[in-house]
Every structure is written in structure tokens, then in C-alpha cells.
Structure 1
Amino acid sequence: MSELRANRVAEQMKKELGDILTMKLKDPRIGFVTVTDVEVTGDLQQATIYISVLGSEKEKQDTLLGLTKAKGFIRSEIGKRIRLRKTPELLFEFDEAYEYGNRIETILRDLNK
């Protein structure tokens, strides 16, 4: 039962984060960010937010730094939008799945040549 609720909270957080990151944050360090996934623990205490950022490695690191600095603001905005007793602690991580998939696709393309 708690896993189902955690999944529902994660999906709602993903939807709200997309809106918060595009509309509310004004930090110039934060580039073009896409929230690819959100994983919430069963007790709803922590949420890992997987992001994908377009740009160079420096732009990616700057974006991660900006999001980490804005963590408190983002958490309070989520708390206002989603009715929970306690808003989960946020942890931002890069989603490496897309880069990994692109690398495999490039290797397969090179093998076919």
C-alpha cells in the first residue's frame, strides 16, 4: 500500500517540479533542465530527483549547484502544492540513462558501417 502511495506522490512531484523549474526559479546558473524521474522512499521522507541537462559539462555542474542551492525553495513550493504531513527531503542526481543509451546507439551504428 505504501509503495503505491509513494509512486503516486512521486508522479505528482514530477509534474509539479516541471512547473516549478520552468516558471518559478530565476537562478541564471540553472540551464535547460528536464525532470526524467522521481523516486520517493516508502516512508515519504526522501525524494531522489533525476534530471537531464542540455549543455556542456560545466553547464551541467552549474545547474546542479543552482538546484542544490534552491532546494529549500523548491521543497517549500512542493509542500504548498502537494498536501503532505511532511515534505520529503530532496536530492538531485543526473540521469545517466539517456547518455548511456546514446552511447550504445552510436556503437551499434558504427558496427553497422
Structure 2
Amino acid sequence: MEWFKKHFCLEQDDENRLKIGHVEVFFLETLDDSTTNILTKDWSLGNDHFVMPAFCFRAEEIQTLYHDLVLNDVRTEELQDHGWFVEFDFYDLDNNKFKVWEPKTSH
């Protein structure tokens, strides 16, 4: 929980839940080495054994977030530009994979 508070400036309430906007998240310790990652087939490339994150967050300043995480030695995958959106994946201390994406706006 402290790791998420540090890297994402999240607030903790009196019930030990983290607030992400209007959503509250709480953490439970697992009794094995399981993660929230989902092993599936990559729908875009067709590769078997693709690790899909169970949680995806929409960002407003993805470039800044990406560079801050890299500077703070958070394990991240490469920032990818898909034309109409940009995304990257990162991992927490328990090897849970998360996706962050930001749609591009036309100016």
C-alpha cells in the first residue's frame, strides 16, 4: 500500500483503503505467490502465454507518469504509441502487472 501511495500520490482513508478518484481500493495479502495477472492469448499478435493485466488506468499525463516511474526504478515496459492512444505497462513489488493508457486528443 505504501508503494502505491508513494508512486501515485494516493490518499489512505481511516479504513486502510486507498482512494483513486471516487473509487476505493483495499489490499489483501495472498497465501501463495499468485498475482492479479491473467495468462491469455495476445489478441493483437496471436502469441500464446500473454500476461494480461487485470487492471487498466486511464491517464491524463502519461508521458510524465512514465518518466517519473522510470526515474524511481519502477519496472515498466516500453511506452507504445498506437496512433489514437498511448500506453505502457508497469509492475508493483508483488509482480502484478498494470496497464496505463491515454487517448490522444485532436487539436
Question: What's the TM-score bracket when you normalise by the shorter of the two chains?
Answer: under 0.3
Higher relative contact order (CA 8 A, sep 6+): 1
Q: Which has the larger radius of gyration?
A: 1
The structure whose residues are more often helix, as a share, is 1
Report the TM-score, using the length of structure 2 for normalisation. Answer: 0.27
Report the TM-score, using the length of structure 1 for normalisation. Answer: 0.26
